[in-house]
Amino acid sequence: MIIKILAEGGAMKPGPALSQKLGPAGIPVNSVIQKVNDATKDFKGMKVPVELDIDVGTKEVQVRVFSPPVAELLKKELGIEKGSGLQKDLQVANASIEQIISIAKTKMQNLLCKNLKSAVKTVIGSCVSLGILIENKPAVEVIKEIEEGKYDKEINEEKTEMTEEKKKELEDYFKKIQKQQEKIAKQLEAKKTEEKKEDSSQEKK
């Protein structure tokens, strides 16, 4: 019996979905959860794909851990809890090309990409949907630059470390963006409040 789950790294808890599958087979849920948590402890704070291979006859359980989804690796690398729900207006982080290359190397085997460059483009695609800037620019722009060969040197050298100077530069730029975004967020909130008022006054009529 094979069971596929998405587990919280090192912190999976008992749940009805797993109990319903393991209970009838006479497999103790708590011992399986302990095994999963031991196997995924290096991925704390991330959701990790896990496959449980269960021998119903011997009650043996094998735990196979796969690398976390690209979005989870990005969130971990950039220290963010979630992506932006408003990608065009609100950005949640500013990544370096080195960080993107590092994640692309980690996921390379699972992405079925023919080379590192295409893996990098796949990771950047996730940055677009999460609302993550790369090198102070929207991720969509960086995909075009990758295609034009702008970052071929870094990709070919598999560069995954950035200088402290560059790190500070990216952080300083993002702080400015955050200030601008706070203004936008307040404007959006004010607009929503105004629309609610208008809706309620229409209803009264």
Place of tokens 């090192």: 10
| pLDDT tens readout for residues 85-102 | 766 667 889 999 999 999
Residue 124 maps to a domain: yes
**Residues 74, 58 share a domain:** no
Bridge partners (DSSP) listed for residue 53: 2, 62
- Which residue, among 57, 49, 62, has the nearest Cα to 2 in the 3D structure? 62
Specify the CATH number for the domain of residue 10: 3.30.1550.10
Burial class (CB in 10 A: 0-12, 13-18, 19+), 20: exposed
What's the pTM value of the predicted model, to 2 decimals? 0.70
In the DSSP assignment, the letter for residue 43 is: G
What's the domain range around 57?
A: 2-65
| 31, amino acid identity | S
Place of tokens 């483009």: 121
| pLDDT tens readout for residues 179-194 | 888 887 788 788 888 8
